[in-house]
A = this chain, B = another copy of it.
Amino acid sequence: MSSVQEMKALLTPKSIAIIGASSKDNAIGNIVVKNLIESHFEGAIYPINPKAPEIRGIKAYPSILDVPGEVDMAVFCVPAKAVLGAAEECAKKHVKGYVIITSGFSEIGHEGAEVEKKIVEVAHSGGGRVMGPNIVGVLLNGSKANASFAPCLPLDGKTALISQSGALLISLDMNTFVRHLGASSMISLGNMSDVDFADCINFYAEDDKTNCIGLYIEGLKNGRAFIEAGRKAGKPIVALKSGVSAHGAAAAASHTGSLAGSVKVYDAAFKQAHVIRARDLDELLDCSQALALQPVMKGENICVVTNGGGIGVLSSDSAEAYGVPLKTAPADLQVEFKKCMPDFGSAKNPVDITGGAGLKGYEDAIAVALKSDWVNGLAVLYCETANTEPDEIAEGILAAVKNNGTNGKPIVTCFVGGFKCQAAGKKLIEAGIPFYENPDKAMRALSALRQAALFQEEGIADDYVPAKDVDQAAARAVIAAARADGRSVLTEPEAKKVFAAYGLPVGKALVAKTEDEAVKMAAEIGYPLVMKIVSPQIIHKSDAGGVKVNIKDEAGVRAAWKTIMDNAKAFIAKKDIKDAAIHGILLQSMAPLGKEVIVGSVNDPQFGPTVMFGMGGIFVEVLKDVTFRVAPFSQKTAMGMLPEIKSYKILQGTRGEKRLDQERLSEIISRISQLVSELSDEIAETDANPIMLYPEGEGLAVVDARIILKKK
C-alpha cells in the first residue's frame, strides 16, 4: 500500500476501537466513546475493556482480538506502559490506524523514545500506521468521527488543520465556530513517531473535501519528505512555524522533543515546499479561510473597492508590505468606476465610492471590477456608517457576485464596525466569501492567494537535473585519502580538488614541498600569485601568518617561502601543537578583484544538506544578509535566491557598474547543491569564500575553499 492509501484507511475509518475505554465519566477512555457517539460516527464503535460488558450503552470487548469485524482505527487511551502490549494485539488484528492519545514517550526522554520506536515497528508489522503518541486524537468531519478528547467536531468546512500541539488543537477546535472557519479535519500530530506532516499533506492533497491545508509546526523530523509532499500537493498550504526566537526554540525543544531549525532555513524550505508562511495564529487562520474558500489570484492586479478613504489607504500600505502593491487602475477602467460614485469619489484604486455609497454603489463598482480583464483579485472594504446597513452591503456583494460571476477572481471582504458587521461577515463567509475585521488582514489574505498562484505556476518539479560533467569518484578519492590520514577537515588544496571535480573554477593551484619546487611551479602558474601554508593543523591561515599575496617574481616566491615557513613553525610551536604536519605551500594564480560573494553549505538537522548564499565580508558578518535553499536544486531555483538578499542591487550593478555574472553564479550555487547532496554521506559543511564574481559573461573564481567532513 502507498502512504496515501494507508493514510486513507486511517483518516476515513469505518470502524473504531477504543483501547482502554472506561466506565468512569471523566476518563479519557470514556470521553472518546462519548465523543464518537455525539459526533454521530456512522461506523462501528468497539470499546475495549477487560471487564466492562458495555460502555455508554455500546457493547465492549475484553480485547481487540475479540472484536468480530475489521477494525480500521484503534484509539489508545491506556497508560503508557500498556500501549506496547495493546499495539501487539492490534497488529495481530491488522488494525490500520493507531491513534495513540497516551503520553509519556519520547517527550519525556530516551527510554520513552525507545518504546515509541518499538510501537511503530509493531504497527508496521501488522500493516498499520501510528498517529502520535501524546496527542488529542483526530477530528474528522468527513467520517463524523470525533476520535479525540476535544469537546466536539470543528465547524465543517474545507480546511484541514494539522497541529503538533494538542492544547492548541483543542482551543482552535472551538475557535472555528467563533471565526466561522470550517475544517474538514483537525489532526493532532504530537510526537510524530510515524505519521508526520508529509503523510498528512499527501493524504489531504487528494482529499476532495479539503481545499487548503493549515499547519502548526514546532519542528520537523524529515524535512526533505515535507518539501516533497508540499510541492507535490498542488493545493494551498499555509504553516505557522513556532520556536523561531532563540528563547522560543528552547521552549519548543522542551515541549515536543524535536529540534527547532533556523528561521532562515525554514523560510527557504517553505518556499521549496510551496508552503505559505504565517507569522502568527491569526495569519494562519485568516489565510486558511481565504485559501479554502477562494480561487488563487492569477495575476498581480488587486482592486480595492471602499467607502472610506482611511481604510483604503491602510489597505494600500498593507498590500505593499505584503509584496502585492496596489497599482493605479488603467484610464478606461477608471472611467467605468467613475460612473459608480459621486464626483468627489476616487476611481484610481483604491476605488473610493465614498461614505454615502450604499448597496447600489457597491454592486455597481464590484460588477465593474469583476468584469474587468485588468483586475485579478478584489478586496471589498466597508466602514460602517450612520446611513448604511452592513447586512445590505453584504447582500450587495453577494448579488454582484451572483449576477456577474467572479471570472475566476478571488474576492475578500473587510467590514470595520460593530456587531452588525460581525453578522454580515458570518453571512458572507457562509456564502463562501472570506471576511475580515481589518483591512490589513484582507490584504494579507489576497497576498496568500497570490503566493499560492505563483507556487502553482512554478509547478511541481524544481527542474533540477544533476550536471553530468562531474567526477564524483575523484571527489570521493580526495575525501577517502583525508579520512585515511585520520582527518575530518580537508586542506585547501584538497577542498579545491573536490570543488574542481564538480566543475567549480578554483584556478590553477599547486602544492610545493620545497622552495625550489615553488619557484618552478610559480613559473608554470604565472604571476602574480598567492602563496598559502598547507597544514591540517592551521585552519585560519592568515592569522598564523601563512598567507602572502601579490607575489610578482621569483625573488618574491623565495622570500614568501621563508616567511610563511617561519611563521607556520612559530605558530605550531607557540600553540604547542603535537604531531603537526606541514604538507607544503600552495601556489595559485591571484584572482583579479571582483565582488566578493560566499556560497556555503550546512547539514541541517531537519532538512539535510542546505546551501547558503550571500555577499562577502561585511554583508555576511555584520548584516547576516544571506539566503538558503535545501539541496539539491536547479540553477533556476538558485537564480531565485539572488534577489532575496538585501544587497541584491550590487549583483545588478550599482553606481553605473555592469550587472554581475548572475548566470554563472547561479550555476555554481546549483553545482554546490549537487556536490553536497551527492556526497551527503561524507560532507558536513562547505565554504567557497570568497568567490570573486565578475561582470556578466566574465564568470567568477573560487579563491578559498573549505570542506569539513562528517564525524564517523
The interface of chain A, by Cβ under 8 A from chain B, is: 26, 31, 108, 149-151, 163-168, 170-172, 174-175, 177-178, 216, 218, 240, 242-248, 250-252, 254-256, 279-282, 307-314, 316-321, 325-328, 344, 346, 348, 350, 352, 355, 383-387, 416-422, 437-441, 618, 621-623, 646-647, 649-650, 654-655
Contacts and interface: CB of A to CB of B under 8 A. Distances in A.
A199 to B, nearest CB: 20
B621 A255 contact: no
Contacts of A282: 438, 440-441
A324 to B, nearest CB: 11
A280 B314 contact: yes
A309 B255 contact: yes
Given A386-B149, A417-B175, A242 B438 contact: no
28 contacts: A151-B386, A165-B311, A167-B307, A171-B384, A171-B417, A174-B384, A174-B421, A175-B417, A177-B419, A178-B418, A216-B310, A242-B313, A242-B314, A245-B320, A247-B319, A247-B328, A248-B313, A250-B348, A251-B348, A252-B309, A256-B309, A280-B314, A280-B318, A280-B439, A281-B438, A282-B441, A622-B654, A623-B647
Most buried by B among A280, A314, A316, A385: A314
A281 B314 contact: yes
Contact of A163 (B172, B243, B250, B310): B310
A683 to B, nearest CB: 27
B248 A218 contact: no
So how many copies of this chain end up in the complex?
2
Which of A150, A168, A248 has the most CB atoms of chain B within a 10 A radius of its CB?
A: A248
A247 B438 contact: no
A618 B654 contact: yes
Contacts of A167: 307-311, 355, 383, 385
Contacts of A250: 328, 348
Contacts of A325: 245-247
B386 A150 contact: yes
Given A167-B311, A252-B309, 20 more contacts: A31-B386, A165-B308, A165-B310, A165-B311, A166-B355, A167-B307, A167-B309, A178-B419, A242-B310, A242-B317, A247-B320, A248-B314, A248-B326, A250-B348, A251-B309, A252-B313, A256-B309, A280-B314, A621-B654, A622-B649
Which of A254, A317, A416: most chain B Cβ within 10 A?
Answer: A317
A585 B321 CA distance: 48
B174 A417 contact: yes
Contacts of A242: 310, 313-314, 317
Given A247-B320, A282-B440, A325-B245, A310 B168 contact: yes
A598 to B, nearest CB: 15
Contact of A326 (B244, B247, B309, B618): B247
A108 B441 CA distance: 31
Contacts of A310: 163-165, 167-168, 216, 218, 242, 255
Given A167-B307, A175-B417, A438-B281, A255 B313 contact: yes
Nearest to A170: B385
A316 B170 CA distance: 21
A635 B244 CA distance: 36
A387 B26 CA distance: 9
A172 to B, nearest CB: 7
8 A-B pairs with least C-beta separation? A165-B310, A174-B418, A167-B308, A245-B320, A248-B316, A255-B309, A168-B310, A280-B440
A316 B245 contact: yes
A198 to B, nearest CB: 20
A31 B178 CA distance: 35
Contacts of A387: 26
A625 to B, nearest CB: 8
A623 B649 CA distance: 8
Contacts of A178: 417-419, 421-422, 437
Contacts of A650: 618, 622
A172 B385 CA distance: 10
Contacts of A308: 165, 167-168, 171
